Structure 1
Amino acid sequence: MRKQVKVYTPLVRYERILYSLLDVELPFPVSFRQIGFFASSLLAMVILVKLPGFGFMESWWLINYVAIPVGLTWFFTKFKLDGKAPHIFLLNFIQYQLSAKTYSKYEKAEKPAKYQYKTNVTYRKGVDSE
């Protein structure tokens, strides 16, 4: 006989939404998650523009500091890749690519360089084959 255990974590995990800032109503509600993605992508763009080789992007301030952070925020909050948030999917994909692919008893196993079967193989000819 199983006993049902009540879990209240879905009640605590609700998305916090910001409707106004300092008594000024925002044109649309913004979640704290969207604010975090926007701030991190904006910081990444500020750092990227200052790197050598990306100096040509300094004149495109509207694209660098508005369009790209808004686009990245929209992508990371609205889409799901393989049923996961895109940043979680990318982290899992990188982790998979860097991990060992051959395991034996849940431990990394080395592949032999060359393997050759040293047993006799017997087979039976069919009636049709000559």
Structure 2
Amino acid sequence: MKHIRIYNQVFRIEKTVYNIQGIPLPIPVSYRQLAFFVGALFVMLLLNTLPILSWFGNYYLLKFVGIPILVSWFFTRKTLDGKAPHRFLFRYFEHLLSHHHFARYQKLEKTPNEKYQYEGEVSFRFDSGGDNI
């Protein structure tokens, strides 16, 4: 017999779409997958208005169905460093744009060209042979 200790996942049921306007879908999709599909489709429609990207022939099935399906699958099924890909990418770009000068999670007031000096007690121990480590 299995004991459920936390009930959060039990009551968090993901809503699923089985058909759209009476047209059955080949596989049921969640609202989140559908949102990523529509978002990717919108981006592809915007990119298709650019002259350079609209010159690549008549690959409409790939552009407007294949790529949005791939994007929705990737953003709902994969994880990067234990996080959802869109959250990972947001944090990655936030890190790239930050100042990177922190000391114990607090921003330093010094400019990057100044040398840093640790203000605190430094302790060390000697090896049993008497050599410094």
TM-score scaled by structure 2?
A: 0.69
Give 1:28 deviation, angstroms.
1.4
Q: Does the C-alpha gap of structure 1 residues 17 and 107 become closer, same or farther in structure 2, counting only changes over 3 Å?
A: same
Q: How many residues align?
A: 112
Q: 5+ unaligned residues in a row in structure 1: which ranges?
A: 1-6, 118-130
1:1-130 equivalences under 5 Å are 10=9, 12-57=11-56, 59-104=58-103, 106-113=106-113, 115=115
TM-score scaled by structure 1?
A: 0.71
Single out whichever of 20-29 and 35-44 deviates more from structure 2: 20-29
Give 1:88 deviation, angstroms.
0.7
Q: 5+ unaligned residues in a row in structure 2: which ranges?
A: 1-5, 118-133
Provide the residue aligned with 1:128 in structure 2.
none
4+ aligned runs moved over 6 Å, structure 1: none
Deviations 1:45-82 (A, max 9, x none): 00011124222135221111011111111111110111
Single out whichever of 8-17 and 75-84 deviates more from structure 2: 8-17
